[in-house]
Structure 1
C-alpha cells in the first residue's frame, strides 16, 4: 500500500493541535463546470445540516457558509474523533457574466449544488450581416 504525505493536511492537524482543536474555517472542496447556459458548483459538505448553509451574493462575490456540529455523546470515552466539525467558508468571484438574481441551490446526499445562470448579455450571439453597401457609404454617394 502506497502512502503519501499531504502537507496541507499535516498543517491543518498542527494548527488544530496548537489551537486546542479550535481551528479556523474548514476547507470545503468544490467542483465547478459549465453546462449549457449555466455554471454548476458542487461543494462537499457531508454531515452538514442544510439549515446551517448560507449562500449570499454581494456584488460579484459569492459566499458559501456552513456549520457542522460536533457529535456529542454523553457518557462515552472517545478513542478517535477524526471527522471534522466547525465552520466552512468559501468565496468565489462570479464576474458580471452571471445572472445573480436567478442563482439557485439544493443540498442532497452531503453535496451542495449551486446553479449560476449565465446572464443574457454574456451569452454568445450571432451577428446578422446586412447585404449591399453599408449605410454610411450609401449616404456619401447620394
Structure 2
C-alpha cells in the first residue's frame, strides 16, 4: 500500500508541475520567486565513514557530468544538478513515465574537519562517489602558566 501512495504522490507532483508550466507559459510567472526552479527529486544516496574519511555515493543514472555541481561551505557539502529528458523519438504519448527528471539537490553535514585539498569526486556508471578525507587530530597543547 505504501508504494502505491508514493507513486500517486509523484504523479500529482508531475501534474502540478505541468499545470504550473502551462500557466507560466500563458500568463508568465505570478511573482519573481515563482520563476526560480525548485529541486524536483532527491537521488538515492549511501553515506558512510571509514576510519579516515566520509564517503557519499549518489545514484545519478542519466545525469551528464557537466550538469553536476559540488560545493563545500564550511562543514556542509552541497550536491546539485539536473537530469534532462532526452529522446530522438517523436513521442506521441507516454504510456509510462517513472524516471524522475529535472533539478535535484542534496546537502550533507560533514561531522569532522576535512582535508579540503584532498577531496576526490568520481562519476562512473551513473554513480557519483565523493570522498572527504578527515584531518588528522591535532595533538593536545600544553599551556604553561606564568607567575607574576
TM above 0.5: yes
Query: Per-residue deviation at 1:8?
Result: 4.1
Q: Please say if residues 97 and 121 of structure 1, whose CA atoms lie closer than 8 Å, have aligned partners that are also in contact.
A: no
For the pair shown, which has the larger CA radius of gyration, 1 or 2? 1
Task: Show structure 2 runs of 5+ residues with no match.
Answer: 22-37, 141-148
1:87 is the counterpart of 2:85: no
Query: Per-residue deviation at 1:20?
Result: 1.3
**Aligned counterpart, 1:27:** 42
The CA RMSD over aligned residues, in Å, is 2.7
Distance 1:50 1:96, change over 3 A: same
**Paired residue secondary structure (2:48):** strand
Aligned residues: 123
**Aligned counterpart, 1:5:** 2
Give the ranges of 4+ consecutive aligned residues of structure 1 lying more than 6 Å apart after TM superposition. none
2:12 to 11, 14, 17: 14
CA distance in 2, matches of 1:121, 1:15: 46
**Aligned counterpart, 1:51:** 66
User: What TM-score, normalized to structure 1?
Assistant: 0.72
Query: Per-residue deviation at 1:76?
Result: 2.8
User: What TM-score, normalized to structure 2?
Assistant: 0.70
2:117 to 81, 101, 120: 101
CA distance in 1, matches of 2:56, 2:39: 23
Task: Show structure 1 runs of 5+ residues with no match.
Answer: 128-142
**Paired residue secondary structure (1:71):** coil
Query: Per-residue deviation at 1:62?
Result: 0.6
Structure with a larger share of its residues in helix:
2
Distance 1:70 1:60, change over 3 A: same
Q: Please say if residues 83 and 101 of structure 2, whose CA atoms lie closer than 8 Å, have aligned partners that are also in contact.
A: yes
CA deviation string 1:95-117 (max 9, x = no partner): 44322332110000100000010
